[in-house]
Structures are given as C-alpha cells and as structure tokens.
Amino acid sequence: MPSSDSYFTVTKNEEALFKDRGSKFFAFAFPVNQETDIKQHLDALRKSHPGARHHCYAWRLGADGLTFRANDDGEPSSTAGKPILGQIQSKELTNILIVVVRYFGGTLLGAGGLINAYRSAAALVINECEIVERFIMFEYEIRYTTSDTSAVMRLLKDVGARITFSDYDQHNLLRFVCRKRDSEQLENKFSDLYAVNLKFLNIAG
C-alpha cells in the first residue's frame, strides 16, 4: 500500500506547443484513472493527427505511482517517452497521460535535440495544468449490533469518515471511507468493540 497519505494529479485536459528547427511538438496532458482511458486518448489523437510522424507518450497510474510506461513510437530509443516520463516524475504526478505529437520539419535534431524537445514539450503542458493534491482514502465495510450504534457513529465521526452506503433494514451495515492516515487509529479503536465486524475493502482514492 502507498506509504504517503496523498498524491498529486491534474484536473483536466491541457495542450501546449514546442517548436525546434521546423519540427512542431504538440503536447497533450490528460487525467486518467485506468489503462482503458489511456488507449481512448491515444486512439483519438491518432485520428485527429493522422499526418504526424510520431505519437510519443508516457503515463503513470495509481496513488503510489508505481505503474508507468514510456513509448518512443519510432523515435530513437529513450529520446521521447523517457524524457516525457521524467517530467511527470519530477513533478511527482500520477494518474496522468502526456502525449507529444511530432510533425517533422525537415531537419534532423539528433538524440540530444530530441530529448530536449520532448522534455520541453512535456514541461510546457504540465505548466498549463492545474495540479491538485488528492488524499488516499481507504474503504471499509462494518457490521455491528444495535447496541453498538452510538459507539460506531462516534468513532466514525472522530476520524472524519464519510458513509457511502447504509443498510438498517435487515442488517446494521455501513460502508465508509476515511483518509489513510486515520485508518490505523480507526482499526485499533474498532478492535475494542467485540461485536463489530470491520472489513477493509480497497483503496478508494
């Protein structure tokens, strides 16, 4: 599980343009949550920029940022995707896709020129983005007896938990989320209530 309590990402799509010796590098940044989102954006850009020589990209997913990929799309190895990914990592961003679409201008830039161009294009589009901090939320399910209702509600309030689902008809059952930083305290306190069954579900954010 992530060691930090929060992560940084972008809020909406942005664009930027970098030019070097006739070549144009159109940079696009997208907030993404899963690989299917990434594929949709890549497919859309290939359709809207069919004349581009290269569609190079990098992405990073997950609150821990450990899932990532870089693609040179035909450029010399490590001259495009890696510099783009480097900019994502330098800003400590995740759940983001950056694509740089290149239109060749007739002059070869060399490996150093390509690295600078793709890095610069990625940096420009990141500068256009609104970067926000999002908290890592843990989702739980809890079952309890009616006699423990007051204690359960008090503990949830103490850690600022947000109830997402409730069933009081057939069961005393709740699903809720709380910040990761408060999860250990919450689990310890609920362990003292022997008639309460608390189950961790997943990382919700």
Residue 2 has pLDDT above 60, yes or no: no
Name the percent of the chain lying above pLDDT 70. Answer: 98
- Tell me the pLDDT band of 18, cut-offs 50, 70 and 90: very high
Alpha-carbon dihedral of residues 176, 178, 183, 188, nearest 10 degrees? -50
For residue 25, give the H/E element and its range. strand 23-31
Q: What is the pLDDT of residue 205?
A: 63
Q: CA 173 to CA 148: how far, in whole Å? A: 12
Half-sphere exposure in the Cβ direction for 144 (13 Å, CA): 23
pTM of the model: 0.82
Closest CA to 142 of 99, 183, 83, 114: 183
pLDDT tens digits for range 32-47: 999 999 999 999 999 9
Q: What is the pLDDT of residue 194?
A: 78
Mean pLDDT, the chain, whole residue set: 93
Residue 30 has pLDDT above 60, yes or no: yes
Residue 193 has pLDDT above 90, yes or no: no
Rounded average pLDDT over 141-147: 92
Closest CA to 56 of 19, 83, 37, 33: 83
pLDDT tens digits for range 150-192: 999 999 999 999 999 999 877 799 999 999 999 999 999 898 8
| 97: exposed, middle or buried (Cβ count in 10 Å: 0-12, 13-18, 19+) | buried
